[in-house]
Structure 1
Amino acid sequence: MTLPYERTRSVIGARQLLIDLAAASDNADLEKFRALSRRLLRHFPEPIDLQLSAGFAPGIWADPDATGDA
């Protein structure tokens, strides 16, 4: 079970991962990024989490089914 603080930490960590990947050199340690990605994905929001969040905060989240990306 993922707790709210774990989910929040995962979203924040995923943002930082994307920043780090964007700034990485061609010699970046791919295994480091893979390991971090696995840790972040463990608590990353699922589509149902986003659907519920969209219901409570439609100004912040959109229902993933409505975006066509889910």
Structure 2
Amino acid sequence: MSVTDRELKHIITKARDAKHGGFGVLSTGEKLAAALVLNRPDWLAEMTTGSPRRSNASARSV
């Protein structure tokens, strides 16, 4: 199965929306794609925990 140009444009549009503050209004799949496209592991963590995750460095100091 290949991804069409239309589907790629949709993913890029959603990633741009997320980058400019629209992450909360995306579907789960769109959030996942945006986080991967924009290299935002913190967004992936937020999706699984419901809140931003602390880095290892800050977790050690607590």
Same fold (TM over 0.5): no
Return the TM-score normalized by structure 2: 0.37
Normalising by structure 1, report the TM-score: 0.34
The structure carrying a bigger helix percent of its residues is 2
RCO higher in 1 or 2 (8 Å CA, sep ≥ 6)? Answer: 1
